[in-house]
Amino acid sequence: MGDPEVGSGVNRSKRSPVESLGLQKKPVFQAWFHFLIIICILVFVMCLAVSDGSLTWWERLALYKRFLNKTTKFQAPAYRIHPHHKFKLMETHTTTEPPTVQPGIRYHQAYPRNYQFVMDNRDVCKSRTPFLVLMVPVAPHNVAARDAIRQTWGKESVVQGEVVLTLFMLGLSNDADAEKIKQENEQHHDLIQSSFMDTYLNLTIKTMVIMDWLATRCPTAAYAMKVDSDMFLNIDNLVMMLQKPGIPKLNYLTGMLMWDRPVIRSKDSKWYVPEEMYPDPQYPTYTLGMGYVFSNDLPEKYVEISKVIKPFNIEDAYIGMCMKKLGLAPTSPPDPSQFKAYNSKYNRCEYSKIITYILGTSEELKNYWADYKKPGPHCEGST
């Protein structure tokens, strides 16, 4: 954390005004004045440090150090205080240049531009502007899950009159045949693969790479959803929800909201997060990772803010953290009961009303979907 250059910068800026003014004053007054100036500087520094309550101390320190750099003669700052938002990071390089992996908080592991797209349907949003893009993180070998989605909720390219696009996000894996994946993409044109290792602990990277893809390849889409591959998604109900008047077009994130969730410190848990990675005992409000929907202005903002958010392996809570740092919060869906997690038994009427349910297998998805799509009323006694 220590930076000798920055330290000397503080001293320089403290000393010069005091000395020049002090020369013309009497000794007692000079001492007083000296004291006052120091107090002023201290208060200023403290105000700066605490002005953004959503930042952790080390981020404040880093930002403050950048601020000091601006005031010293060295170089242009990498950020500036933004009048409306908390702060804005400014990038001078383009997004397509090779990744630069640097130590430090700006280019940590979850920053998606550390990775490259090795398979990239980069023009899919150019021919038609989607209303909604469904981004499905899936393990490279899991062809069965992808095929089930292609036959069910990922099948329709127009839903309720809106263009919907379904894409799969893959990382690298040793147990998947690269040639087969290439062929699969040649057939369906719906795979995106990035250069990170596809593991459970790397799911935050996967989510951030999804955000990077949306921000750089599909910025014209109105909405996007990160939806897991083991989900039943009632795509009609989702599009209808987004068509409702009053649904925000910007800064909108919705799904199943999680409030005041404690961070799991038990090492045996799948969701274990060590204190070094995430010191607070609770997560900020977030949307459960099974499926969350967002206005498509957010991906670019997430990518930018992720430079200053220490990575941890809980991707949905990480997005919650990005929201918090952006000074935003997730919004409850118009009907919160539509976002459901685990269910016990398929029910045609029930499935016609919801938006999400977590399923067990791809077979379940295909069977339930086939039944749900059968003609006729969904609920007993309805017309």
Ligand X SMILES: *[C@@H]1O[C@H](CO)[C@@H](O)[C@H](O)[C@H]1NC(C)=O
Q: Which residues bind ligand X (CB under 6 A)?
A: 3, 5, 65-66, 69, 74-75, 196-197, 199, 201-202, 205
- For the chain, what percentages of helix, strand and coil (3-state, to nearest 5) are there? 40, 15, 45
As measured in angstroms, the least distance from the Cβ of 118 to ligand X is 11
Reference 309, options 162, 132, 107; nearest CA is 107
For 175, the enclosing helix (H) or strand (E) is: none
Q: Which is nearer to ligand X, 252 or 318 (CB)?
A: 318
Q: Which is nearer to ligand X, 65 or 188 (CB)?
A: 65
As measured in angstroms, the least distance from the Cβ of 215 to ligand X is 20
Q: Which is nearer to ligand X, 14 or 66 (CB)?
A: 66
Reference 171, options 121, 218, 211, 207; nearest CA is 207
Joined tokens for residue 349: 């009427």
As measured in angstroms, the least distance from the Cβ of 239 to ligand X is 34
Cα torsion at 140, 148, 336, 55 (round to 10°)? Answer: 10
Q: Which is nearer to ligand X, 310 or 340 (CB)?
A: 310
The distance in angstroms from the start CA to the end CA of the chain is: 67
Task: Return d(Cα 339, Cα 353) in angstroms, integer.
Answer: 10
As measured in angstroms, the least distance from the Cβ of 198 to ligand X is 8
Q: Which is nearer to ligand X, 66 or 261 (CB)?
A: 66
Closest residue to ligand X using C-beta atoms: 199
Q: Centre a 10 Å sphere on the Cβ of residue 262 and count the other Cβ atoms it contains.
A: 9
As measured in angstroms, the least distance from the Cβ of 186 to ligand X is 25
Q: Which is nearer to ligand X, 5 or 177 (CB)?
A: 5
As measured in angstroms, the least distance from the Cβ of 3 to ligand X is 6
Task: Return d(Cα 318, Cα 302) in angstroms, integer.
Answer: 10
Q: Which is nearer to ligand X, 186 or 268 (CB)?
A: 268
Reference 81, options 68, 67, 61; nearest CA is 67
Phi and psi, residue 56, nearest 5°: -80, 165
As measured in angstroms, the least distance from the Cβ of 301 to ligand X is 22
